[in-house]
Amino acid sequence: MTVDTKPRRRGRRGATAAPPSARDTNYRQLKNPFPAMKAFSDDEIANMHETAFRMLEELGMKVLLPEAREYFAKGGAKVDGEMVYIGRDMIEAALASAPKSIDCVAGARHRDFTLELGSLTFQPGAGAPHATDLVRGRRPGTATDYREMTRLTQHFDVFQMISPLTEPQDVATHERHYFTTEAQLTLTDKFPFLFSRGTPQVMDCFEMLRDFRGASDEQFLNTTYCYTIINTNSPRTLDVPMAQGLIDFAKFGQVSIVTPFTLMGAMAPITVAGAITLSHAECLAAITLTQLVNPGAPVCYGTFTSNVDMKSGAPAFGTPTHFQASLAAGQLARHLGLPWRSAAGSASNLNDVQAANENQMGLWGCLMAGATVIIHSAGWLEGGLTVSYEKLITDVEVLNMIAELCAGAKAGTDEIGFANALSEVDPSGHFFATSQTMERYNTEFYEPVVHDYANFGTWTERGAKDATTRATDVWQTILADGTGPQLDDARVGALNDFIEKRKAEGGAPPES
Amino acid sequence: MTVDTKPRRRGRRGATAAPPSARDTNYRQLKNPFPAMKAFSDDEIANMHETAFRMLEELGMKVLLPEAREYFAKGGAKVDGEMVYIGRDMIEAALASAPKSIDCVAGARHRDFTLELGSLTFQPGAGAPHATDLVRGRRPGTATDYREMTRLTQHFDVFQMISPLTEPQDVATHERHYFTTEAQLTLTDKFPFLFSRGTPQVMDCFEMLRDFRGASDEQFLNTTYCYTIINTNSPRTLDVPMAQGLIDFAKFGQVSIVTPFTLMGAMAPITVAGAITLSHAECLAAITLTQLVNPGAPVCYGTFTSNVDMKSGAPAFGTPTHFQASLAAGQLARHLGLPWRSAAGSASNLNDVQAANENQMGLWGCLMAGATVIIHSAGWLEGGLTVSYEKLITDVEVLNMIAELCAGAKAGTDEIGFANALSEVDPSGHFFATSQTMERYNTEFYEPVVHDYANFGTWTERGAKDATTRATDVWQTILADGTGPQLDDARVGALNDFIEKRKAEGGAPPES
């Protein structure tokens, strides 16, 4: 491995290999600086909220887990078979008890962050059955892929949360949760994700996490150490593992991020207003369940709503309707006051211009919607069927630039620079040597990960590599570097012992 | 030519070739729906404005054209050799007389538009010495390229203005202005661009345009039929053809779009605040000249400020500083109340993921800055040295989606759809056949130009073409269609006669 993650050039400054930039922006705790954009008027948003109430009260929600229906019934809902009819009062009580701010505790203190309206976090693309890269091609996700992608996620500060990028399909399903949890705990010091695939698996994971963090049972209950994603089955269905996940995570004080995944024109109405009203209703039902289980339990609002292509029925992402759906969901989240997640993503089949444009378009929708968590913000292809190593890198470039925008710029006397720049240079001169430039040349600008500014001749001499090809060099270089987070050997040993013991006991199959 | 600009698929609806979408959004007159973002506080912006005044008064502007210096002197400026020192009062008078709203008259009435704060127009990438496409490769721009790119610009409604995409280098420079003007007048019915390369060429072009539009001299003086771009030579220099262009366009009531092109760390201070203060000062000087020549003459504020890569000195685009520079310029434009232009663009050497991400990042900076005109919004590579046919197409996809966002979405009773959608579908059902879907399936969603939503298997069977490769099909199909705007044969004849006469007289060489 001889490549370098940062391109080196013979520059005007005469250096054969310029020193790396000394710029150091904190990407770990971001505040969203982008003004919120509205899709609809406040009255229209209020009508959507009212319609969601009406849906839950009159049309009801199908809840497949008996235990969840019991919680709803105890809370005052009318239950008829699998259908649950949820009154407005119950929902409003849940919205009142759900916390508006959630402190998330990672493996290392400098990686802790807060989920609340105004804060901003990114997750890479999650849950893909396949992985792809230019070296090894497209294949079902493996344990190796899972670990490599987790290490890549660790490498970039702009990912505050670990997501399950690809499914390690070569790990037996009754042991997979040991594998994924161990990988996150030992390869990263960031905030981890746990799947909700039934109570036995979740309890195994909670135990691993509690002990690895050195927490007591009580500390664990009172501290948010991990998150799960809860997808409703639109329209209006909450299945067994999802309902169980909401209950388990609420009981133990861990975060559920509720995300109806609705495609306009298929599992949701064809309009943004209709689809988001449906998503909102499903979200309210799920949030209500968490608060019935444990008032004050951390929970995030969320949506992932895009449209299908009406000619083929295929999902589309990064479209104008996807953008508007994020905006509308953001208005509803602000209406509730809850932290919330939205999603970017791409339908493209490779890391090409379509993939870049779709993902960035979706990102701007999320950013101008004020999303607290933006999932699938890097690497996601084929509408989530594949995560690409190269796309992960090229999307990080965009996320880093957004993080730089979060940091903002200054316009004090030194920056405007009448004395130290503007008056130092005569007409037709240059600013390479002004006092201001000399003070700042090594810190002023963001230094790219994979973008290349070489001119056409130089770029051609260097092999005329496109950004995707260069991205291969970047991820290979990162993976070739064996360094990881600081670990406590005793806790790693105890984690491995626990896993071996549980495997010997037969593991825990997923529920479905 | 057998390809189609719109991909056809065997869809869920059972059609072997689904009919084209009946959606029809007006892209020709856009209003910017995106909330304005600030880079700096209002106080900081006021300080930058004050510093620009101080620069023009104390440091002065180098003005190479004697006639321009005379205008400044007559207006009260202190002139010392080539240096002009411009007082605040002169500038404030110019800002008071410059129109806040400019009605632009195109070749066809449905293509007229207004330049003012809040309106939004796009221009493709302009002024590139080279052209490139996947079929013919990268080459110096030719007459054929110029005409083809002009036809592609005409094809897409989202380009309200024609720009000079590439330089037709095989047309002699003393006859090139006849060629470019004839092409714009006969291949498009949009608002044309004229270069400011000296009075003789400009007068030729005005005469061609006046007669082709059927305008009298007086009508021409009182109607805005065309625009030019005025670049200052940063720092603080106004060269001969640019100063002459400001004078000529102001005299004849045509629009100058003033655009200091400054690269932070090179021809401008390394900070956003310093670079934009310099750009602002140069802009104020140029705007002042137009109003000294003809108070009330239409003029646009503008900037194109990005940064260099400090290692190589190479220009970079779509960076966080480029984004912030647009925001700061937008704040200053609003401070003045003038319509203004900013720019997107890419430094990449081919139409790859970098090119897509840089251009879109730059676009969002312009959009959130409230730019009235966004130049280089499609097709621009290598920091403007090349315009790519394929990138033109793939960027149009992004611009079209932005235009769809300008149109907005509705959330009335029909759109929220309790009665006609939400209550029609049982849990786990689908919305393909609701009343709401049936009414809207052919109009609700934006239909892409080049994005492809086929799944991996289908896409692979079809040849696994990336977006750039598909874009070749798109531009070839458009160019294969020979239709153009409606033309008046008599005016075309007169135009050709004029050109032949002027060529026989020796044409008009450019000034430099």
pLDDT given at position B19 = 65
Retrieve residue B259's tokens.
């655009």
- Note whether B418 contacts A: Cβ–Cβ < 8 A: yes
CB within 8 Å: A468 and B44: no
pLDDT digits (tens, 9 = 90+) for B311-347: 888 999 999 999 999 999 999 999 999 999 999 999 9
pLDDT digits (tens, 9 = 90+) for A473-506: 999 999 999 889 999 999 999 999 999 999 999 9
Retrieve residue A300's tokens.
């995030």
pLDDT digits (tens, 9 = 90+) for B449-483: 999 999 999 999 999 999 999 999 999 999 999 88
Exposure of A63 by Cβ count < 10 A (0-12 exposed, 13-18 middle, 19+ buried)? buried
- Per this entry, what is the length of chain B? 512
Of A160, A216, A184, A185, the residue nearest A339 (C-alpha): A160
> In the block, which residue shows the tokens 């479209």?
A319
pLDDT band with cut points at 50, 70 and 90 for residue B512: confident
Check if the beta carbon of residue B249 is closer than 8 Å to that of residue B196: yes
By percentage, how much of chain B surpasses pLDDT 70?
Answer: 96
Query: Which of B270, B392, B399 is the mutation pick for testing A, counting most A CBs within 10 A?
Result: B270
Phi first, then psi: what are they for B452, rounded to 5°?
A: -130, 130
Retrieve residue B17's tokens.
């070739």
Q: Give the mean pLDDT of chain A.
A: 95
- How many angstroms away from the CA of B11 is the closest CA of chain A? 4
pLDDT band with cut points at 50, 70 and 90 for residue A7: very low
pLDDT given at position B11 = 36
pLDDT given at position A14 = 37
pLDDT band with cut points at 50, 70 and 90 for residue A19: low
Check if the beta carbon of residue B492 is closer than 8 Å to that of residue B186: yes
pLDDT digits (tens, 9 = 90+) for B349-388: 999 999 999 999 999 999 999 999 999 999 999 999 999 9
A352 vs B21, B59, B468: nearest CB: B468
Alpha helices per DSSP H over B294-352? 320-336
CB within 8 Å: B268 and A431: yes
Retrieve residue A287's tokens.
């949030």
Q: Tell me which H or E stretch contains A66.
A: helix A66-74
Q: Give the mean pLDDT of chain B.
A: 95
* Helix, strand, or coil (residue B57): helix
The topology under which CATH files domain A42-407 is TIM Barrel (3.20.20)
**Residue ranges covered by each domain of chain A:** 42-407
Query: Residues 183 to 222 of A: which have CB under 8 A from any B CB?
Result: none
- Distance of alpha carbon B456 from alpha carbon A235, whole angstroms: 27
Amino acid, single-letter form, for residue A354: Q
- Distance of alpha carbon A498 from alpha carbon B401, whole angstroms: 52
CB within 8 Å: B440 and A270: yes
pLDDT given at position A312 = 84
pLDDT digits (tens, 9 = 90+) for A325-349: 999 999 999 999 999 999 999 999 9
- Distance of alpha carbon B209 from alpha carbon B189, whole angstroms: 12
| 3-state SS, one letter per residue, for A401-432 | HHHHHHHCCCCCHHHHCCCCCHHHCCCCCCCC
Return the biggest CA–CA distance within chain B: 82
> In the block, which residue shows the tokens 């083929």?
A312
Q: How many CB atoms lie within 10 A of CB A81?
A: 9
Of B453, B415, B463, B397, the residue nearest B12 (C-alpha): B453
pLDDT given at position A322 = 97
pLDDT given at position B7 = 36
* Helix, strand, or coil (residue A3): coil
> In the block, which residue shows the tokens 């879109």?
B360
Mean pLDDT of A124-151: 98
pLDDT given at position B12 = 37
Name A113's Cβ contacts closer than 8 Å, sequence gap at least 6.
Answer: A28, A29, A104, A106, A119, A121, A160, A191
DSSP states of A175-212 = THHHHHHHHHHHH--SB-B---S-HHHHHHHHHHHHHH
Mean pLDDT of B253-278: 96
By percentage, how much of chain A surpasses pLDDT 70?
Answer: 96
Instruction: Give me the interface pTM, i.e. the ipTM.
Output: 0.95
- How many angstroms away from the CA of A206 is the closest CA of chain B? 31
- Distance of alpha carbon B98 from alpha carbon A412, whole angstroms: 30
Check if the beta carbon of residue A421 is closer than 8 Å to that of residue B270: yes
pLDDT given at position A340 = 98
pLDDT given at position A16 = 40
pLDDT digits (tens, 9 = 90+) for B245-254: 999 999 999 9
Amino acid, single-letter form, for residue B295: P
**Does residue B14 surpass a pLDDT of 90?**
no
Amino acid, single-letter form, for residue A334: R
Angle between helices B353-369 and B389-407 (to 10 degrees): 40
Of B40, B64, B37, the residue nearest B274 (C-alpha): B40
CB within 8 Å: A311 and B11: yes
Angle at the Cα of A459 from the Cα atoms of B388 and A22, rounded to 5 degrees: 110
Mean pLDDT of B206-234: 97
Query: Which of A56, A264, A278, A311 is the mutation pick for testing B, counting most B CBs within 10 A?
Result: A311
Retrieve residue B369's tokens.
């800055």
pLDDT band with cut points at 50, 70 and 90 for residue B10: very low
Name A71's Cβ contacts closer than 8 Å, sequence gap at least 6.
Answer: A247, A289, A292, A293
- Note whether B268 contacts A: Cβ–Cβ < 8 A: yes
Check if the beta carbon of residue A362 is closer than 8 Å to that of residue A317: yes
pLDDT digits (tens, 9 = 90+) for A212-240: 999 999 999 999 999 999 999 999 999 99
| 3-state SS, one letter per residue, for B70-139 | HHHHHCCCEEECCEEECCHHHHHHHHHHCCCEEEECCCCHHHCEEEECCEEEECCCCCECEEEECCCEEE
**Nearest residue on chain A to B306, alpha-carbon basis:** A445
Radius of gyration of chain A (CA): 24
- Note whether B86 contacts A: Cβ–Cβ < 8 A: no
Q: How many CB atoms lie within 10 A of CB A87?
A: 16
Mean pLDDT of A404-420: 97
Query: Residues 457 to 476 of A: which have CB under 8 A from any B CB?
Result: 459-460, 464, 466-468, 471
pLDDT digits (tens, 9 = 90+) for B146-172: 999 999 999 999 999 999 999 999 999
Check if the beta carbon of residue B309 is closer than 8 Å to that of residue A445: yes
Sheet holding A261-264, edge to edge: A261-264, A304-308, A315-316
* Helix, strand, or coil (residue B422): helix
DSSP designation for A328:
H
pLDDT given at position A12 = 37
Of A241, A334, A221, the residue nearest A286 (C-alpha): A241
CA torsion A92→A95→A97→A99, rounded to 10°?
-170
**Does residue A9 surpass a pLDDT of 80?**
no
Alpha helices per DSSP H over A196-352? 199-212, 217-222, 240-251, 272-293, 320-336
**Nearest residue on chain B to A15, alpha-carbon basis:** B311
Retrieve residue B51's tokens.
């510093």
